[in-house]
Chains A and B, each alone.
Chain A
């Protein structure tokens, strides 16, 4: 119920969202749809059928030239050498001290060309961070203005998008992509997502965004596709235990603490943050991310304190109702010895301790 004060940034679909009656919010400086028909309704649409999200606020950075591999590998935690052309990987961009600058997707377009998808509110910082470490002669381009991004997610995402492209989508593996066309317009079609469902994220020219958005909704109508906002995106990603920058990860958390050790490859060459991570690995981490389910009445939300045996011991990074499980779930940081499923904890909700138990994650995993 607050009025936007500073001028908000807008995606190429901003006018359409307003026209279609989406509820808009200030999301990290962007005027974005938080919901269309309702978060629960959109959440179920993605789990059962399909949902379409405007994620054009996400940033893109292109690294190219003969030194593209060397630069990309030296600023990210995952092994870029493991990527084949047409493959994508989840990775971390770290500070020297081991904390996150951002979590990103690295796509290998060719031996001398990498395409990075980064978080909206981090994109300027990410670009500067990478450019500052370009001791090589790689070309680093802030490419966000050239792309709109749409996410088509859910069991019917493939059938929907297939109607608009000649590329055999079933042949694109998970975390792989193809450069082709959607509705006759050049598109990078990646089998990636942030919902825990099968689906695609497509990168297209901004001037094509509105037409393609409408064509996807038309194509998916027979399957029950729904336009979705960031509210459902958040409940979906939380069930799938996917990290959100500023919550599970930020400048003072490391991949090991965030239970993301799998994106760190210590046996590759040097990368920013490696020395700090090596030291942390040797000493051991003090705290770790773990899931929880509320057993008492209440919803543990972002920032709430977590108590163990009556003592403050950690905090909730993300929490809310899980529409799929019909429980109140969340993620929190706890001392590492207690960051395992089955521990009784209490979450302080408006100065009242409310019982919860740590739980296995992900909370939701789709049937393959």
Chain B
């Protein structure tokens, strides 16, 4: 379910590293918790992001949720598709509905994120706690 080549945060973001670029998204668990996603607010290309700070927000019909920066760096691309079809985040959160691409400024941060196995356990525990 959770790709093993991704790293994850406890705030339910994922990052996939390709060279010096980190592709960032939200997890399937996050989209399920949010429900129907209707709006995605992303930073501009060129914005410098710091790990743990707010990256943007995702809005479902019901509520707004902040997205946090999983890895520090500069935004080199945002997923324009999400401005017109935010519902793609419900359909393909680990694939075509990535959020931003970040040029990593501190690649060592990646190793401190959760593995797929650890994230699955963490998200699973949250679900069963309901």
Contacts and interface: CB of A to CB of B under 8 A. Distances in A.
A195 B44 CA distance: 39
A12 interface: no
Interface stretch (A31-39, A78-86, A307-315, A336-344): A31-39
13 contacts: A1-B33, A34-B35, A34-B62, A38-B36, A39-B35, A39-B61, A40-B36, A235-B61, A297-B83, A298-B41, A299-B38, A299-B59, A301-B64
Contacts of A234: 62
Contacts of B126: 1
Interface string A320-332: 1101000010000
Size category of the B interface is 10 to 19
A39 B63 CA distance: 12
A301 to B, nearest CB: 7
B112 interface: no
A3 interface: yes
Q: Which of B35, B83, B129 has the most CB of A within 10 A?
A: B35
A299 B35 contact: no
Contacts of A29: none
Nearest to B56: A350
Interface of B: 33, 35-36, 38-39, 41, 57, 59-62, 64, 83, 126, 129-130
B35 A35 contact: yes
Contact of B130 (A24, A231, A298, A320): A24
A1 B33 CA distance: 7
A64 to B, nearest CB: 40
A299 B39 contact: yes
Contacts of A34: 35, 62
Interface string A1-40: 1010000000000000000000110000000001100111
A184 to B, nearest CB: 35
Given A297-B39, A299-B39, 6 more contacts: A1-B33, A38-B35, A40-B36, A299-B38, A320-B62, A323-B61
Given A35-B35, A38-B35, A39-B35, A320 B41 contact: no
Given A1-B126, A3-B129, A350-B41, A23 B35 contact: yes
A350 B57 contact: yes
A2 B33 CA distance: 11
Contacts of B59: 299
Size category of the A interface is 20 to 34
A64 B129 CA distance: 45
Given A34-B62, A231-B61, A39 B36 contact: yes
Nearest to B60: A39
Contacts of B61: 39-40, 231, 235, 320-321, 323
Nearest to B65: A1
Contacts of A321: 38-39, 61
A323 B87 CA distance: 13
A40 B34 CA distance: 13
Nearest to B12: A1
A39 B39 contact: no
B40 to A, nearest CB: 10
B79 to A, nearest CB: 15
A103 to B, nearest CB: 22
Contact of A231 (B33, B35, B39): B35
Closest 3 CB pairs of A and B: A39-B61, A40-B36, A321-B38
A102 B69 CA distance: 43
Given A1-B126, A299-B39, A321-B38, A39 B33 contact: no
A231 B62 contact: yes
Contacts of B60: 39
B62 to A, nearest CB: 5
Interface string A170-202: 000000000000000000000000000000000
Contacts of B35: 23, 34-35, 38-39, 231
A3 B62 CA distance: 18
A328 B39 CA distance: 10
Q: Which of B60, B61, B129, B130 has the most CB of A within 10 A?
A: B61
A39 B62 contact: yes
A231 B60 CA distance: 11
A323 B60 CA distance: 12
A44 B122 CA distance: 34
